[in-house]
Structure 1
Amino acid sequence: MSETTPVSELNEAEARAELARLAAQLQRANRLYHAEDAPELSDADYDALKRRNADIESLFPALKRPDSPSDQVGARAADGFSKVSHAVRMMSLGNGFDDDDIADFDRSIRKYLGLSSDAPLSYTAEPKIDGLSLSLRYEKGRLVQAATRGDGEVGENVTANARTVGDIPHDIENAPDIFEVRGEVYMSHADFDDLNARQVASGGKTFANPRNAAAGSLRQLDASITASRPLRFFAYAWGELSAPIAATQMEAIDRLRAFGFQTNDLTRLCPSLSDMLAHYRDIEAQRSTLGYDIDGVVYKVNDLALQARLGFRSTTPRWAIAHKFPAELAWTRLEGIDIQVGRTGALSPVARLHPVTVGGVVVSNATLHNEDYIAGRDAKGGAIRGGKDIRVGDWVQVYRAGDVIPKVADVDLSKRPKDSVPYAFPTKCPECGSDAIREDGDAVRRCTGGLICPAQAVEKLKHFVSRKAFDIEGLGAKQIEMFHGDPVLPINTPADIFTLQNRDASNLARLKNRDGWGETSASNLFAAIDEKRAIELGRLLFALGIRHVGEVGARDLALHYLDWDAMAQAIDAARPAALAQRKADAAEEAERQAAASDNRRARVKEARDAAIANSDVPPAAASAWSDLIGIDGIGTTLGLSLSDAFANPDERRAFDDLRQHLTIVSPDAPASDSPVAGKTVVFTGTLEKMTRAEAKARAEALGAKVSGSVSQKTDLLVAGPGAGSKAKKAADLGIETLDEDSWLQLIGDA
C-alpha cells in the first residue's frame, strides 16, 4: 500500500495501518508546529493528511482510534513552561477548499437555524493569520495571564513573554471584570528579514519562515530574548467573559479595537455568500503585498446569539470555517482509467497517472468521481472544464487543495493524441458481469449483482463485522478476506459466520491447523461469534449495509417498528407503493428535463401526479408506505432503498438465513419520566423558538418518537404557523394538537 493510495482502494487492514501511520505523523507534526516551532510540513500537506485521516474514518468508522487526530487541537504543552487550563476551550477551525465548500457551509448553517436560502444572514470575513494562537486573560482591566493554545484545553504560561509584545496592552479600561482576548502572534515579512540578518551577523540561528520565528520567539524561557524580537499581535476573538462585550462579531471586533488591541483592517461584514467569496478573492489578490503571512480567509456568523445556538462540534465551531487558499497544481499524463466497485455497488473511476509531484507528494492516482465528470458535465448536464471530456492519453492538471485524494482539474486539448477516443463508461460490472445501472437522479452507476458480486460481498461482510455493527472479536477485515470463497470454511454471507462452527465437527481442527491460528485462537473465535448471537435491532439493521441506512436511520427504524418481523412485513406490504413511487419519480425526472428545455414547469407536477394516480396502489400498501417514509429522518430515498433490498431475492434470502441464527432485541426507549415519553410526536408548520432539528432532538431525548407524517399511531401534533394538511388530518383523527408554547410548557422548556 502506498501513502497516496486512494482511500476508496483501502481494505480494513490497510485502513487500520494507515490510521496508525497518520496518527503518528500528525502527532509529530503537531508537536513540531505547536510545541517546538520547527514544522516539517507545509500547511497544505498538513491539511491533506488530516483530510485523509477524516476520509478513512468516514469510510471505516469502526476503526477510529482513541487518539484520533480528528479529535485533537494543537499539541500538549511543553515541559519548559507552567501549564494553564483554558476556562473556555481554544478550538480549531473546519476547513473549506473551494467555493462549493463555502456554499455547503452556508447551507448547513441555514438548515440548522431553519432559515430559507434568501433569509438575511451576515458573516464576517477576515484574513487567516499564519502565526501562533495566544489567549490573554485580563482581570479588572489588568493583564494577569497569557497562554498558548497547547492542545486546546491546556496551554503554556507565557505571561512574561507576552508582556514584551508592543501590540498587547497591559491595562485596558471599561472591560468586563474577567476578559479573555484571543488572537494571533505573528511577525511581518520586513521584521523577519531584519531578524534573520541580525542572526547571521551575530552567528545565531536563522529561521525558516515568519511563523516559526514568531512562535519560537514567544516561547523563549528567557523573556528578554522575546523582548528583542519584533513580535506583533492581531486580536479577533475571546474566551471567558464575565459580561458580554457586543451582540455581533463585527461589533466585538470594534470593541477590541477600542480597548487598544490591533485588529485586522481587512475584516469585513458580508451580507451574503457572494459577498464572502468576493472578499476572499480580494484578500487573495492582496496576499503577496500584505507584509505578513496568511493562508486563507475565516468566515464567522456575525450574530453572536446565532453563534450560541449553533454551538460546537467536538473540536470546531459550527458557526465558523476557514476558506484555505489553493495548493499546488501539476500536469501529467493520464495512462489509464480503472473502475472500482464499492460496498453499495458504486462504480468509481480512478485515474492512473504518470507519477508527478504535487505539493511535495508523489501522486500516481486521482479520483474521477463519476461518468458525468469524465464526460465534462455536472449532475444537471451543465458544462465543467468548459465541456472538455477526459480521455486516456490526455495531459491533465492535477491538484490536491488540502484533499489528500488528488483530483483532475483540467485537460490540455493541445496535447491530446490524434487517435484518442471518448471514454466509454462500462454498463457491466467489471467484477461480476452484472448490469451496472444508473437510476434517475443518481450521479453514480451501480452494479445490480448484490451479494453475488464478490467486490460487494466482501465489503458488505467487512462492514457487517465492523466495530459499530456486530464487532466480533477476532473476525475483522483480514479474516473476512481469508474466509470469503474458501473451499473448506467459506464465509460468503452473514449467516455463514454463525454456522462456521457447527457445519462440521472437524472445523475446529481445520481452523487451528491454519497459519496464524491455533486451538486457543480458533476456540476464542467461535466463542466470540456465539456472544454476538443476540443483537439489538438497530445495530443489526446498520450491520446489513443497506444503502443509505446509517446508524441514525437504523436507530429510527428500530424505535419505530421495535421488531424485525413487524418491520419486514411493513416493508413487504409497502412494496407496491414503493414501485409506484419509483415510477412517479421517473416520470417527474423526464418531465423536469423536458420542462427545462421548453419552460413548461407545470408539466412536472402533472406528470408526477398522473403516474401516482394511475398506479392502482392498494390502500394497505399506500398506508404502509406512508408510515415508513413518514418516520422522521427516513423519507423517500431511504424507504426505496429498504424496499429494494428486501425485494432483492439474494439479499432477502441472506437476511432470512441470518435471522434464523439470531436473537433480535427490541431497542430500549430513552429512560424518561417526561409526559411525552413513549409517545409519537409530529411537528408541522413553522416553529418560531427552535428549529425542527432542535425540536426533534429534544423530543427524542425525552423518550418520544418523532414522525414526519400524521397517522392513527400519532399521539401528539405540535403545530406552528402555516400548519396545513397535517393539522387537518390530525383534527379528523381526533389527535391532540398543541401550539409551540404549549409544547414547551408540556416538556418543561417554557
Structure 2
Amino acid sequence: MTEENPSLFDSATAAETVSDPAARIEALRREIEHHTYLYYAKDAPEISDAAFDSLMRELRELEAAHPEFYDANSPTQRVGGYVGEQFAPVTHAARMYSIDDAMGLEELEAWLDRLQETLGRFVPLCCELKIDGSGIALTYEDGRLVRASTRGDGTTGEDITANIRTIRDVPLRLRDQAQAMLADPEAAIELRGEAYMPKSSFEKLNAAAAANGKDGFANPRNAAAGSLRQKDPSITEHRDLSTFIYATASNAAFRMGGQFELLEWMREAGFHVNPDVALCSTREEVLAFCEKVLEKRSSLPYDIDGVVVKVNEFAIQDAMGFTARAPRWAIAYKFPPEEKTTLLRDITVQVGRTGALTPVAELEPVRIAGSVVARATLHNEDEVRRKDVRVGDTVIVRKAGDVIPEVLGHVPSLRPADAQEWSMPQTCPSCGSPVVREEGEAAYRCVSIDCPAQAHERLVHWASRGAMDIEGLGDEVIGRLLESGRVTDVADYYNLSEYDLATLDMGRVNKDGEAIHLGPVVAAKILAELQASKQRGLARVLFGLGIRHVGKTTAESIAQAYPSIQALRDASEEQLAAIEGIGAIIAKSIYLFLRTPQNEQVIDRLLAAGVVMEEQRVDSGKPQTLAGLTFVLTGTLSQSGMSRTDAGAALKEMGAKVSGSVSKKTSCVIAGEAAGSKYDKAVSLGVPVIDEAAFLRILETGEAPEGVGEA
C-alpha cells in the first residue's frame, strides 16, 4: 500500500496495536457511515477516496482479528452506497459491484501473482482508465434508451432518465448494425459506465458560481454527481456532462468472448468509449500501460485516479465469480497522490454538523493536482500531535485521490525557533459551550443543541420525513429562516406566526425587481404542518433532536423502554445501557445530551409549545399475535413489491418488534431476493429464516410459522 499517512491510515498492524479494539471498531464504523452518507447522499465528501479506503481497510483488519465484534450492519458487510429519496428507485438488472483497490504497484503485482497462480497461466488482461466520475446504468429495450439510473447502493439506484437524455454522447437508440449483433436484439440490456464533467467545464461552472456569489463544487466528480440529480433536466443539459461506457449487467446478452471486444461493440453501437485501453498479454505490458497513463494523467481533459485491470475473457470471469463486494477477476490500481510543500499560516477550528471540532490548516495557497489549495483538514488533535505540525512550519501537502487536501507532516529543517505546539480549545469556538471527548473517539464535540454551527443541519433534520415530517420546510426555506433570525433552534419553529412566514424574503426578485416572499398560502400550509407535527410522539422527537448515535430504530427502542420524556430524563446512564440494542456508547450520548443545559431549555420550550413527548400507543385494530417476537428483514421482497419499511410496519401492527440487526435474541429473519450478510449471520446463529412466501402467509393469517418463537 502506498503510504498516505503513516500515523493515521497505516493499518498494517492495527489489529496488534489498538489497545481497545471494540471502541476503535465502533468509532471506525461510525466514521465510515458518516462519510458514506456525505459521499453518496450529499455529493460532498469531507475526505479523499484514499483516506476512506484506509479507514475501511483498518476496519476490515480489526474485524478479522476480533470476530467477537461481528456486526451485520458494519460497513464492511455491504457493497456500499446510499439511495436517496429525491427520485424513484430503480432495481438494477444485476448488482453493480465495487472493485478492490491496489494501493501501489506492489499490490498490483501481488494481485497479478495470485491471479496467475489461481489460473495456472497468465491470461490476457484488459486495461482501462479509472474515470473519476459518477456511476450510471443505462437500460435499452429493442435498441432504445428506456431508463437510466445512478449506481445507488449497488442494487438499487435512482431514476435519472430525464437528466441522462440531456447528455449528448448517450445514444437514445443503438446503431442498427450493433443491435443486430446482440443475442436477442429486442431484449433489454443494461450497460454501465461513468458520467463525468470535463475539467474545462468544471472551471467554467465554478467561475459562474463565484460571479453570482455562490459556492462552487469541490471537484469535477461532485459536479457531475450533483448535475445528474437535478430536479430540472434543463440544468443538467447546461452542465456539459459526458460519459464513458465500459461494462454490462450481463455478458450473456452479447455475442462476444471478452471485455476488449465488448468495448469495440460499444463504440459501434454509438457509445462514448475511452480511447485509452489496452489488451495486455504479459505482466510487463500491464505495468507499462499503468506507467504511461500516470505520466500523461495531468494532461487529460478529464479526471482519472487509476487504471482498472480486468481478466479479458468472459468465460474466465464467470468461472472466477465475485466476493461479497467485488469481482475476483478485476483490480483497480490507484495512482499515488501528488505532493507539494507550503507554509502553514494558522490552525483554525471548524465545527461540523454533528458538533465535531476539526482543526484546519490555513495554508499559503499552492497548486496541487489542477487546483489551488489554501486549506486542509488536520482531522483531530491527536493527528496534529502525531504529525507534530505547528503554525509557521513548512508542511507537505497532497490531494489524496485528487480530492481533499491533506497535510502529511512538516519539514524539520525549516521549522521556526519559536513554533509552539497546538492544543484543541476547551470551549466551542462557535457558541462557547464546553466540548467533550467520548471514550474511544478521536474527536472533541460540542453537544449544545443551540450551537450556531450545527443549527442549519439540525433544523433540516427535525423537519425531515423520518423525523417530524414537516412538509414545506425544505432546505431553502430553513436557510432563509435562519439567516433572518426568525429561528435559531427547533423550538423556534413553534413560535412562528403566519406573518413571520408569509413575509420571509426568499432572496430572489421577480421580473419587476421586487423581492419575492414566501406568501400567505405557503405560510398557512407550513403552520398546519407544524401543528400536526406536535403529535408525532416521543420516538420521532428523539430522532429529530439529532442525538449522536440515535437513529430511527434506536429512538423507537428507547421510547418503548421509557415512553415519556420525563421518564427518560430520570433514567440513569446504566439504565439506558440496559435497553436492548443500546449499549454503553449510545447510553452515554443520550445521558449527556439530556443533561446539557442548552438542550434542556430547548426540550422545555418544545413541551411548552405543545409538542407531545410521550410515546403514542396506536391500536392497529389487529390481534397482537406476534407480540414478543423480533423480526429482521433482508433482501428484496419482489413477490409483493413491498419495501422493507412497509413490511416492518405490517409486522408491527400485529405486535412484533422489527430490528435492523441479527442477534441470538432474533426470533426470525425474513429473507427476500439477494439476501445479504444478515442471512449468513442468522444461519450461523441458528436463527430461523423464512422466505417471502412464508412472510406473506404471516400477513394473511397473523400467525408465525412453526418453530418461530418457540425457543
Distance in 1, matches of 2:593 and 2:667, equals 31
Change (3 A) 1:138 1:534: closer
TM-aligned CA distance change 1:722 to 1:338, over 3 Å: closer
Within 5 Å, give how 1:298-377 maps onto structure 2.
Answer: 298=308, 325-326=335-336, 328-376=338-386
Residue 128 of structure 1 is matched in structure 2 by 129
Q: Aligned partners of 2:622 and 2:402: how far apart in 1? A: 47
Once residues 694 and 503 of structure 2 are traced to their aligned partners in structure 1, the CA distance between those partners, rounded to angstroms, is 63
Partner of residue 484, structure 2 = 482
Indicate conservation of the 8 Å contact 2:651/2:658, yes or no.
no
Q: For 2:557 and 2:56, locate their aligned partners in 1 and report how far apart those are by CA, in whole Å.
A: 31
Alpha carbons 1:182, 1:238 under 8 Å: kept: yes
Task: Give me the TM-score of the superposition, normalised by structure 2.
Answer: 0.51
Question: Contact 2:505/2:516 (CA < 8 Å) preserved in 1?
Answer: yes
1 CA distance for matches of 2:75 and 2:320?
13
Task: Provide the rounded CA distance (Å) in 2 between the counterparts of 1:651 and 1:267.
Answer: 65
Question: Could you tell me whether the CA contact under 8 Å between 1:179 and 1:241 is conserved in 2?
Answer: no
Q: Deviations over 1:677-730 (max 9, x none)?
A: 88742569x99xxxxxx9987963763533358899x86589989989998xxx
1:393 Cα offset (Å): 0.9
Output one character per residue of 1:261-312: Cα deviation in whole Å (capped at 9) or x when no partner.
Answer: 998445999xxxxxxxx9998864453689998752337896699769879x
Instruction: Tell me the distance in 2 between the aligned counterparts of 1:635 and 1:418.
Output: 48
Matched to 1:532, the amino acid is L
Counterpart contact for 2:428–2:434, Cα < 8 Å: yes
Q: What aligned pairs does 1:317-716 form with structure 2 within 5 A after superposition?
A: 325-326=335-336, 328-376=338-386, 388-402=387-401, 404-447=403-446, 450-451=448-449, 453-456=451-454, 460-461=458-459, 463-464=461-462, 470=470, 473=473, 475-483=477-485, 491-501=487-497, 521=519, 525=523, 528-535=526-533, 536-537=536-537, 539-549=540-550, 553-554=551-552, 556-557=553-554, 559-560=556-557, 566=563, 568=565, 571-572=568-569, 574-577=571-574, 621=575, 625-627=577-579, 629-630=580-581, 636-662=584-610, 664=612, 680-682=629-631, 700=648, 703=651, 705-707=657-659
Separation in structure 1 between the aligned mates of residue 192 and residue 460 of structure 2, nearest angstrom: 46
Aligned length: 495
Task: Tell me: CA distance 1:356–1:243, structure 2 relative to 1, closer, same or farther (3 Å).
Answer: closer
Output one character per residue of 1:116-160: Cα deviation in whole Å (capped at 9) or x when no partner.
Answer: xxxxx9999943267999999999xxxx89999996578326866
Secondary structure of residue in 2 paired with 1:446: strand
Letter in 1 for 2:362: R
Distance 2:146 2:684 in 1: 57
Q: Secondary structure at the match of 1:426?
A: coil
Please state whether the residue corresponding to 2:423 is helix, strand or coil.
coil
Residue 585 of structure 2 aligns with an amino acid whose one-letter code is T
User: Is the 8 Å Cα contact of residues 450 and 488 (structure 2) preserved in structure 1?
Assistant: no
Q: Which has the larger radius of gyration?
A: 1
Task: Assess, with a 3 A threshold, how the Cα gap between structure 1 residues 668 and 134 changes in structure 2: closer, same or farther.
Answer: same
CA distance in 2, matches of 1:646, 1:57: 26
- 1:102–1:460 Cα change, 3 Å: closer
State the 1:58 CA deviation: 3.4
Equivalent-residue separation in structure 1 for 2:595 and 2:383 (angstroms)? 32
Deviation of 1:405 (Å): 4.1
Equivalent position to 1:287, from 293, 304, 311: 293
Match of 1:534, SS?
A: helix
Who is 1:612 aligned against? none
Q: CA deviation at 1:447?
A: 3.1
Contact 1:395 1:411 in 2 (8 A): yes
Q: Which runs of 5+ in 2 are unaligned?
A: 1-33, 61-73, 81-110, 116-124, 149-160, 195-243, 268-274, 312-316, 508-514, 636-641, 671-677, 699-704, 706-711
* CA distance 1:510–1:710, shift in 2 (3 Å): closer
Matches within 5 A, 1:186-197: none
Does the 8 Å contact 2:505/2:518 carry over to 1?
no
The alignment partner of 1:127 has SS state of strand
- 1:156 aligned residue (168, 171, 175): 171
TM (norm. structure 1) is: 0.48
In the alignment, the residues of structure 2 paired with residue 720 and residue 183 of structure 1 have an alpha-carbon distance, to the nearest angstrom, of 28
What whole-Å deviation, never above 9, does each CA across 1:462-499 have from its counterpart, x for those lacking one?
65457876455485223224327xxxxxx454333323
**Matched residue SS, 1:366:** strand
* Contact map agreement 1:134 1:147 (CA 8 A) in 2: no
Of 73, 78, 89 in structure 2, the residue corresponding to residue 112 of structure 1 is 78
Question: What SS does the aligned partner of 2:493 have?
Answer: helix
Q: Following the alignment from structure 2 to structure 1, what is the Cα–Cα distance between the partners of residues 604 and 432?
A: 26
Cα separation, partners in 2 of 1:480 and 1:677, compared to 1, 3 Å:
farther
Q: Quick one: which amino acid aligns to residue 112 of structure 1? A: R
In the alignment, structure 1 segments of 5+ residues that lack a partner are: 1-53, 71-94, 115-120, 164-168, 186-233, 270-277, 312-316, 377-387, 485-490, 502-506, 578-620, 688-693, 728-737
